[in-house]
Amino acid sequence: MKIRYLGHSAVELVGSKTIYIDPFLTGNDLAAIAASDITEADFVIATHDHMDHLGDSFDICRRTGATFVSVFELTDMAGNEGITTEPMGIGGSVENDGVRFSLVNASHSSPASDPTGVIVEMDGRTVYHMGDTGLLADMGLLPEFFQIDVAFVPIGDRFTMGARSAAKAVQLCGARIAVPIHYRTFPIIDQSADAFVEYAREKAEIRVLEPGETMEI
């Protein structure tokens, strides 16, 4: 699987299918690509409907024919716009075209629905995108059900976990590799990943990706 970090919380997964998670590109000055650059996609996932996560999800789905995966309330909105959807709830899993999606708890706010994290299993690899969240003891249960290869971990503080709690989240979920997200994008969360790396480096392999940078697992 090839993974590209697109900036803020946006992630591209490319394997047997192409998947975008939280594609906030329009209005993000640090985004590695424009939404219009995406011409092919199989699935688009939104962890919640804050503008910096739902972002360009509907536009990408309309243009590419991708299936929109999210909680029921957001898929209902997408369905009303003629988008193909895969509605889910927290705690549930769905398999679609060889990809398994699981929604898990996130501690945050959201205008229209419960916020979530998402676990994607594709081509024998497992990716956990935490969305926006505070530290949750629930994360410690995940290793009983998933062998997480990569976790995308919000570290920006103020609205999500800060460096120390994000490092604990990495330990709890048992991820082999952790990538920090949701920091630097705006002045209000403009900090480096240095503190997170210091706290988390003994808990997992830490990869700090710049927008547009890729990795393979």
Average pLDDT, stretch 72-81? 98
CATH code of 205's domain: 3.60.15.10
The 10s digit of each residue's pLDDT in 32-42 is 999 999 999 99
Residue 186 lies in a domain: yes
Provide the pLDDT confidence category of residue 107 given band limits of 50, 70 and 90.
Answer: very high
- Long-range contacts (CB closer than 8 Å, 24 or more residues apart) made by 34-42: 35/59, 35/60, 38/63, 38/64, 39/63, 39/64, 40/64, 41/66, 42/17, 42/18, 42/66, 42/67, 42/97, 42/99
User: Would you state the pLDDT for residue 217?
Assistant: 96
pLDDT tens per residue, range 186-205? 999 998 999 999 999 999 99
pLDDT at 12: 98
Number of domains the chain contains: 1
Q: Average pLDDT of the chain?
A: 98
Percentage of the chain beyond pLDDT 70 is 100
- DSSP per position, the chain: -EEEEEETTEEEEESSSEEEES---TT-TT-SS-GGG----SEEE-S--SHHHHTTHHHHHHHH-PEEEEEHHHHHHHHTTT--EEEE-TT-EEEETTEEEEEEE--S--SSS--EEEEEEETTEEEEE--S----GGGGGGGGT---SEEEEE--STTS--HHHHHHHHHHHT-SEEEEES-SSSGGG---SHHHHHHHTTTSEE--PPTT-EEE-
What are the pLDDT digits (tens) for 20-31?
999 999 999 999
Mean pLDDT, range 60-73, rounded to an integer: 98
Asked, for residue 214, whether it belongs to a domain, the answer is: no
Q: Give the global pTM.
A: 0.98
pLDDT of 170: 98
What's the domain range around 10?
Answer: 2-209
pLDDT of residue 3: 98
Would you say residue 215 lies in a domain?
Answer: no
Tell me how many degrees the CA angle 127-70-163 measures, rounded to the nearest 5: 50
What would the pLDDT profile of 155-187 be if each residue is shown by its tens digit? 999 999 999 999 999 999 999 999 999 999 999
Q: What band does 207 get if pLDDT is binned at 50, 70 and 90? A: very high
